[in-house]
Structure 1
Amino acid sequence: MSHVAALPSFGIVCLARKPGQKGKKTAPKTKPSKDSKGFSTGRKEIWRCVGNCGACCKLAKGPEFATPEEIFSDSSDIELYRSLIGPDGWCIHYEKSTRTCSIYSDRPYFCRVEPDVFKNLYGIENRKFNREACSCCRDTIKAIYGPHSQELNSFNRSIKDSSASK
C-alpha cells in the first residue's frame, strides 16, 4: 500500500461476532467470484484498502452491524470507540473533504484491518482473513454508499486486480 497516510482508518464493525456468542451473527460469507460462464475463477481474494472510500469511518452504522459492546470485551475499547463517533455518525478524525484519516499512523488497533485484529475481535483464523476482510468491506460499503456505488465498484475492481496479480 503506497501513500499509507492518505488511506482512511478502518472501524472494523462488520456483521462478524466472536465465536460462541449465543444468538449472534457470524462473519458474513462470500461466494467465490464467477466468470461469465458461471464457473469459479479459482482466484483467492487478497484484501487491500481502497483510497477515497472511508465507509469504515462511518462508525454509527445502524442495527444490522455489531455494537461496540458486542465486539469489545474491554470497557476502555468501548469507551474509545464511542468517543470517536461524531454527531453525524462519522469518525471525528475522518476528513470528509479529502476522504482521509487525520490520525492514520496513530489510529486505534481496531481501525487496522490485519489478521491479528480479526482473530482477536472476531475469532477469524489467519487463513480466512482475506475472505472475511473482503466480505466485511463489501457489507460496509453497501450499507454506507449502496450496492451500486462507485466505492463498491472500486473496491471490487481493486480486489479483482490484486487476485489476478498473485
Structure 2
Amino acid sequence: MKHLVIASLVLAAGAANAAEYKIDPGHSFVTFEIGHLGVSKTAGRFNDIAGNFTYNDDNSGSAELTIQAASVDTNHEARDKHLRSPDFLDVKQFPTITFKSTSFDGEELKGEITLHGVTKTVEFDVEKVGEGKDPWGGYRAGFEAKTTIKRSDFGVTYFIPGVTDETDLEVFIEGIRK
C-alpha cells in the first residue's frame, strides 16, 4: 500500500508540472522539401495547422497536430493545384494530415502520422527554441522538429523518381499556455 501511495504522489507531482499549450497558428508552420528531377529541390509549406501539446519540467510531453492538406503552398498556383489532386495529396478524399505522439523525451518525438489515409510511425528530432512570458500576459513555448518520410510509404507514388520519394519535413511550433 505504501508503494501505491508513493507512486500516486509521484504521478500527481508530475502531472502538476505539466503545462498544456494550444498551438498558435500565426507563429507555427509545417514545411517540406523534396527533390525535383535530380537538379533542384522544391520547398513548400502548409498554411493551416492546429493542435495542442504538453510540456513537462522533466522534458517529457505529448503533441497532437492537424494539418489541412488543401493549405499546401509552394508559391506556384499550378503546382499547388496538382499537389492537391489524386496524384499527390488527394485533398478531397483525405482533407487532413494528422500527427499524434506516443512518446517524447525532450529530444525525440515519436508518434503516428496519418497522410493520404495511411498511418505510420515516425520519429522527429526535436529542439526546444525557448519559452517565456509574452507582452500580453501569456506564456509561450516554441519547438522545431525534423524528420524524413518516404511518400511511397503513404501510397503517394506519382512520378517517382522524378520527384523524390524521400521528403524532408520540418515543424515549427509556438504554443500559448492554456
| TM-score between the two structures when normalised by the length of structure 1 | 0.29
Higher helix share: 1
Higher strand share: 2
| TM-score between the two structures when normalised by the length of structure 2 | 0.27
Larger radius of gyration: 2
